Amino acid sequence: FYTYTRQLLKQTIDIVYKYGNYNETLFIINHVLRCPPGIHQWATNFVRFLLPTSFDILCSPMYIRYVAHFLATLLFPIKNRDIFLQNWLGENGETIPQISTINTVKNQQQWMLIDADGQERAALLRWDTLNEDDLIAILNQFNLNYLMNVLFSLNEQINQKQQNVSYENTLRILAILDLFVEILCRGFDTYADSQYKNFHKHIGKMIR
């Protein structure tokens, strides 16, 4: 049953991304972010960033709003996540710990594990937030390199004439880049815990 429903969910989401609008795809992303930790193992493909096909589309107000909402959804605090998780039931009947238990875990001193790359990782499972692997996997869906290529007319896959670097286009590019950086920096505040060191590095690389 669990496998069948997940396949059905995947088919439904594929249809939404193929025929739906920006708001409908963001609706899916909002629900993925309210799942228990470990979504990088099964739900990363449910978070898809819709790519523009031209410079004009990228700079359009509708698409800029979509990009801003996409990044903000990933990097701003997830509202009412604990309420959504109260109704979660795992494949083997698991449920999330009660709020009091979560608060106890948060107040405990966390042991740190060292992975194969020499990076520290928290040993305790945090139910109240997504883990670092989840956040990195989801943020990787945001194809910043593609957007930069479109902004500076470097994408060979797009069949269009080279954009003239006019004063107006320069201002539009600077405004878009400033918006991207501002929202990306919010990720440092939202996930300020030491267990997100690699995620911080990932955001820093995107900003550079």
Is pLDDT above 60 for 154?
no
Is pLDDT above 70 for 122?
no
Question: Given this model, what pLDDT does residue 134 score?
Answer: 93
Burial 45-75 (b: 16+ CB within 10 A, else e): ebbbbeebeebeebbeeebbebbebbbebbb
Is pLDDT above 80 for 201?
yes
Q: What is the pLDDT of residues 37-84, one digit of tens each?
A: 889 988 999 999 999 988 888 889 999 999 999 999 999 998 888 888
Alpha-carbon span 151 to 174, nearest angstrom: 10
Higher pLDDT among residues 32 and 172, named by residue = 32
Higher pLDDT among residues 175 and 127, named by residue = 175
Is pLDDT above 60 for 185?
yes
